[in-house]
Structure 1
Amino acid sequence: MTSAKRTRAQIAREDTARKLAAASALFEHGEITGEMTDQSFILRLNTLVHARRHKGAHKVPKVLADAIRSDKEAKPEAELVLFGHWLLLDGRPGMGKSPGQPPDYREIMKCVAACLVEITKREDRKKHQLKTRHTPRKSRKADITKHDLSDCWPDIFNEARPPRFFDSRLKSMRRLLPAYLAHLNSRKVMHGGKTVTKSPEIQAVLEAITGKADVQPSQPQTTAPITFIPAAPAPITISLDYFSSAQKIEHRGPAGHNMPLSTLRYMCAPPPPNAMTRVGGF
């Protein structure tokens, strides 16, 4: 019985995928393979995610520019596409280089897609008051863990992956997603003359894998302007002493023998207005 239900679900998703691809340039129907271009990979992965949401194809934006709202927020149909452009096509602008071997960025995208599917599934369970397959451990900090990804991976990608497979990928996601959201926040992403600055579902993925609500995008580091302040040496006081007592008596006489020694005080005075400083030889 379970197999029949899964088969019906797969047939329904396949039909939705075809309709989405026919209705919008944000989707492409077909199997995800290693030989396809990055552009096709992005669109097919986006189709895989949204075919599970059972949304009518007639309601989806036709092109990417149509998926950007007036408040500069990306619609759900465009969020994975925009992230894919930044990650795979545009060279990850705003992302600093890190030492070591770079991650498999397509695998990172698949992990983000899996998180989107899992978040949507949990929201549906809440709406219909359905119980989850397991109760989250009280000690866990993140809402989506490597165990969750391992559990949902076969249903989404038809392949099994152990939890340890996601350790490095989750670490990379926690580094990449804030950089991407900060890049959006910089107002440098435009499509069809529209600027996009917000991606709520990608933000939700970041919060889910970190266990922190309202995670703020990391801001590009800025260097404060350096202000040069002229040095102001402290005054110097020099005591005018004698080489010997005999010399002191000789110059001061008996009457001045017990008087305090004279001092000479040096102090740097500020230069007069419009004064020019000579540099070099005389």
Structure 2
Amino acid sequence: MKLLRHGAPGAEKPGLLDDQGHVRDLSDHVADIAGDVLSPEGLARLAALNPADLPLVQPERLGPPVAGVGKFLCVGLNYADHARETGKEPPAEPVLFAKAVSAICGPNDDVEIPRGSDRTDWEVELGIVIGTRAKYVAEAQALDHVAGYLLVNDVSERRFQSERGGQWTKGKSHDTFGPIGPWLVTKDEIDDIQAVDLWLDVDGERRQTGNTRTMIFGVAHLVSYISQFMTLHPGDIIATGTPPGVGLGMKPPTFLREGQVVTLGAAGLGEQRQRMVQA
């Protein structure tokens, strides 16, 4: 299934994408795409519905496909070639940081360039959505706790991230720095999560091309690893790192400006489109 949320910011309704690419409303069946809805039992109940029996809608906006996100965790430097383009060595263990949940926005919402920013950057990533509570999970059972996957643009302000002191969070958490979606794709729809193509364009020019097979730490390892340090709850999102091609790694470094348009996508996970606006 491809689950989604449609409507104005703060008033999104649950829905799904049918096999013809039409949006169907789920409001009569679930309150939102969150919590127990993401469990195997909750997803099975939705999968048993006949999409043709659900109301057809033509949404003006797609919102973030998951509600009630408690943690938005990110993995840094998880592609060796991306680590090298930023001047860092590939890590021996996953590098973790947090992105404020207030950064989350819809897949096609405008992205704000923060006041005083001159290094706003792009990062296409695979996102993991947790479906059931995970604590001290073994790698062999890690995917049992995953509801599905979604596309993430881990927008970053590099000067805030690296030159303003402290950890990376302040460069990762501006409002709109977390576009997710367009939908949550349940894991049964992805044959091999470690073989997903990723791409990103800026104003129609290809900047990033990658595949999750080159991740240093794979999806199952990340879920298991993170669960050793904190309990993961339904709706938590893990952004798994970006392939090479970010603005910081270009020669010379190149960053986003007001009016530019970023488009990105991943095989089986859909596409996003964001216009850059000034905060």
Structure-1-length-normalised TM-score: 0.22
Structure with bigger gyration radius: 1
Relative contact order (C-alpha < 8 Å, sep 6+): which is higher? 2
> Counting strand residues as a fraction of each chain, which structure ranks higher?
2
Structure-2-length-normalised TM-score: 0.23
> Counting helix residues as a fraction of each chain, which structure ranks higher?
1
